[in-house]
Structure 1
Amino acid sequence: MELPAGLTARVELTVTDADTAQTLGSGDVPVLGTPRVLALAEAATVLATTSRLPSGATTVGTSIQLTHLRPTPIGGTVVAVARLSTVDGKRLRFDVSVRDGEIEVATGTVERVLVDRHRFVTAALGESSAAEPA
């Protein structure tokens, strides 16, 4: 089963102390940290496909390109939107955007690969020589 391009999802976050660059160790300022922006974008990509995956399948991240454009202070709310733009066999490419209202906070692409969950976890635990695609 091939996933259709165009699937979208959005994830919202209100920034707390736990989300700041200071807390995450990615800087020393009390604003939304880039690692949290990345995690939010990835969460949106996962949500975009979860309900459409074949039984026993999941996706794993393989490549990320993210440009963090603007700071968001504690208390600010950001929304990450992911759109499945390209499907190439088991390889999925998403365009992602993170916005604070009308302001674009970050933009980029995330690539994920469709895998068999059981085989992937088995391989990750060292019970097999390599993770195999689904």
Structure 2
Amino acid sequence: MQELPDQALAPGLTAQVELTVTDADTAQAVGSGDVPVLGTPRVLALAEAATVAATAGHLPNGSTTVGTRVELEHRAATPVGRMVAAQARLTEVERRRLVFEITVTEGGQTVAEGRVERALVDRHRFLARADRPA
């Protein structure tokens, strides 16, 4: 993998992604519960999408990031039809380890927050390793 250009991935990078909750996003639909509100797995997916968006355009050619650790507190229910926004902010870069603070809001209320850690990897080598027989 190429070396990172100076300050390519520096703390302070941010991105926001939005989702209007549909029936397919509910805890019932994703198998994480039996209520028709935004499911925690979808909250996590939205948070991770924000981290990916925050680093878009800042990665060396041939590189990508992969999730390695998550801490998420899902505090409030969001019904179908409401829009949620996930904001990711890169707070720490330690070699290939990237740490993001995440906040998910709906109508000005924080519905979830936490941390997502990702690792910078060479896409080709990562996929080759993943394809090896166990």
Q: TM-score, normalised by structure 1?
A: 0.93
CA distance in 2, matches of 1:101, 1:48: 22
The partner residue of 2:27 within 21, 25, 45 is: 21
Could you tell me the percent identity over the aligned residues? 62
Matching residue of 2:111:
105
SS at structure 1 position matched to 2:73? strand
2:85 maps to which of 79, 82, 88: 79
Q: What does residue range 1-134 of structure 1 map to in structure 2 within 5 Å? A: 1=4, 2-126=8-132
Task: List alignment gaps of at least 5 residues for structure 1.
Answer: 130-134
* RMSD of aligned residue pairs (Cα, Å): 1.2
Say whether the 8 Å CA contact 1:50–1:58 is kept in structure 2: no
Task: State the aligned residue count.
Answer: 128
Give the Cα separation in 2 of the matches to 1:101 and 1:31. 15
Aligned equivalents of 2:53 and 2:130: distance in 1? Answer: 23
Please give the alpha-carbon distance, in whole angstroms, between the structure 2 residues aligned to 1:15 and 1:60: 25
Q: Aligned AA for 2:98?
A: L
* Aligned-partner SS, 1:84: strand
Q: Moved runs in structure 1, 4+ residues, more than 4 A?
A: none
TM-score (norm 2): 0.93
Which residue identity does 2:107 align to in structure 1? Answer: G
Do the aligned partners of 1:7 and 1:84 also contact (CA within 8 Å) in 2?
A: yes
Structure 2: segments with no counterpart, 5+ residues: none
Give distance in 2, aligned partners of 1:45 and 1:101.
21
Structure-2 separation of matches of 1:4 and 1:26: 35
Alignment partners' CA distance in 2, 1:52 and 1:101: 30
Q: Distance in 2 between matches of 1:101 and 1:57?
A: 36
Structure 2 match to 1:132: none
